Structure formats: C-alpha cells, structure tokens
Amino acid sequence: MSLLSDLVNLDLSGSTEKIIAEYIWIGGSGVDIRSKARTLPGPVSDPSELPKWNYDGSSTKQARGEDSEIIIHPQAIYKDPFRRGNNILVSCSYLYLQVMCDAYNPQGDPILTNKRHNAAKIFSHSDVIAEEPWFGIEQEYTLLQKDVKWPIGWPIGGYPGPQGPYYCGTGADKAFGRDIVDAHYKACLYAGINISGTNGEVMPGQWEFQVGPSVGISAGDQVWVARYILERITEIAGVVLSFDPKPVHGDWNGAGAHTNYSTKSMRSDGGFDVIRKAIGKLEKRHKEHMAAYGEGNERRLTGKHETADINNFNWGVADRGASVRVGRETEKANKGYFEDRRPSSNMDPYVVTSMIAETTIIWQP
C-alpha cells in the first residue's frame, strides 16, 4: 500500500476529540454537488449544533463576484464513510447573507437551486404531516470511461451486444462496475442512509440504487447525500458518473428515478380508491410535473424502452410502459403504493417528492 493510501485510510479518531465535517450543497446547475470541509471541536448529534458557513457563490454560478458570499445552513448529518470515526457529512441548504431561513440573490430573488426551502414548506403543511407520505426512489445512473465518456464495459467507439442479458446480470461480460456499486452500497449503509437495494440495469454500464422508504423531506436529503457518496467513490475509481436521462442514443434504455409513493390513507384498508383519486390528480397536472421532472427527459420518455410518451399520461397495473404503475400486490390487497415512472435520473428529489405530495394531498382541481 502506498503512503498516500495509508494516509487516506488513517483513522485518528481515537487520538483527538476534533472532528471533520464535510459540508455538502448543490451548485448552480442544480445537479452538480459541491462540498468543503472544516474542523469542529468535538462530536455533534444534531444539525442545530453545527455552525453556519459560507462559500463563494460566484464560483458556482450562484452569485455575482462583487456580492458573492452565500451562507450554508446545516440541515441533516450522516456518518462519513470516507474518514470514518466521528467525522460527519453535512447536508446543507442555503441562506443568503443576512437573510434567515432562505436563499436570495442580490436582486431579492431566491437562489434557484435551493429547492429544499419550498419542499420544507410543503412537507410541514398540516394535511401532509397527517398523511405521513412515504417515498422510495429508484436512482438510475451510468458509469462512463473517464477519457472517452463512453459507458464502462463498452468497446471504445463501438457497442456491446444488444440489451437483454445485462439487467440484474452476472458475469464479466454483463456486469460492469460492480465493485463501485458494492462500495457505494456499503458506504451508504455506514453513513446511515436508508438505502434499500441495488441492481444492474437494462443498458450495460448502467446501475440503480434505491433509497427508502423515507418520510417527507428526508427522502430528498438522503438521495442527495447518496449521490454525493457515489460521486466520491467514482472519483476514487477514476470513473465518471452520469445522471443523463439518455446517455446513449438509439436502441438503449434511458435512466430514470422512478418514485414510489404512498400516504397513510393509501396504506389503510380501502386505500386503492385513494390511489385512484391521487393518480387522477397527477393526470390533471401532467404538464406541470413534466416541466419539473428533470432536464432532457424528452429524450428518454419516448413511449419506448419501458417508458410512456412524455406528452401523454396513462397508468396501469404492472405496466412498465405507463406513466404511473400500480403493483399487482397493491391491487390484490386493495391498498399500498404506486410508482411514478416519469422522473428522470437527474431530477431534484426535493422537487419531485414535494410536488407529488402537494398535488395528491393539498391541491384541489
């Protein structure tokens, strides 16, 4: 093992009370993840014990250079799987300088990438709290070769065999990048993220992890931190992580973030009627949801490759070509959950989860 590896893996938690907190936030594109570390005097157990911090918003395309300071406010903490010990990862939202509990640019407009603030308002609504919304998010992603930005396991400039054997496949000619997937799985479990599983996807070089069930805004927190951990692991592996919803054109599946959802009423006896009504509301607001479900989603939602057409809404039982799918077990039990299959892999989980809750619980046609 090299000296660098020895130092990277060094655990000094038994020799000092100080800890390292890695502050994580979302950059100006709305999908890029930024972070920086600071030393704290000792262990913490709640985000309220952490100090606010700041960063240069002009370097993340979130502020002008002459007025660039943005304050980050800790919202959730997780164990750090990279530094281990008492060190932590900190999920942050934004507070613009001297403005409490929100994020604003110098013109007084909220910073566009602070989607958590509005989501928190929706999830704190009394009707939403009473319904205890549960989410399970299936995050698909693609691993790319660093220098050529082509999926790992694919011949450079060429294509592998057609889709079929890769989904949940095993073997050196079918599963590319499993070591990265397993490392991410274990790191998320260590961090305290409610990761519920992983699997190889239909397109070779593409994988999925699932987060949930998570309640309310914690679903967004956990997906963002799970994405951050995956970014760090692919960085170590020298592989590029892509959340592009259609990374390869042609007869290849795209990448989504199917969002499984239920409320207390849906999980109760007779909940299937509540599910039907909720799906009816989603249909009425289809255009609004599609506008917020991720960039480039029109390249993925074509009506092919296990998707519905982006311009049309439909739902069905066990239908993976539908906008919304209801499982056979839910139909049989007359209660349960449904799956919104429309969100793209690069969607903002704060936006998608809060919008589903708002439409199905608060909004009245």
pLDDT tens digits, residue range 120-162? 999 999 999 999 999 999 999 999 999 999 999 999 989 999 9
Whether the pTM exceeds 0.85: the reply is: yes
pLDDT of amino acid 7: 56
Residues 226, 141 contacting (CB under 8 angstroms): no
Q: Which domains does the chain have, with CATH numbers?
A: 3-113 (3.10.20.70), 127-362 (3.30.590.10)
- pLDDT digit of tens for each residue in the chain (365 aa)? 455 566 566 665 566 788 888 998 888 888 889 998 999 898 888 888 888 888 899 999 888 787 788 888 888 899 999 988 888 888 876 543 322 223 334 444 566 778 998 999 999 999 999 999 999 999 999 999 999 999 999 999 899 999 999 999 999 999 999 999 999 999 999 999 999 999 999 999 999 999 999 999 999 999 999 999 999 999 999 999 999 999 999 999 999 999 999 999 999 999 999 999 999 999 999 999 999 999 999 999 999 999 999 999 999 999 999 999 999 999 999 999 999 999 999 999 999 999 999 999 999 98
Please give the distance of CA 61 from its chain centroid, rounded to a whole number: 21
pLDDT tens digits, residue range 94-118? 543 322 223 334 444 566 778 998 9
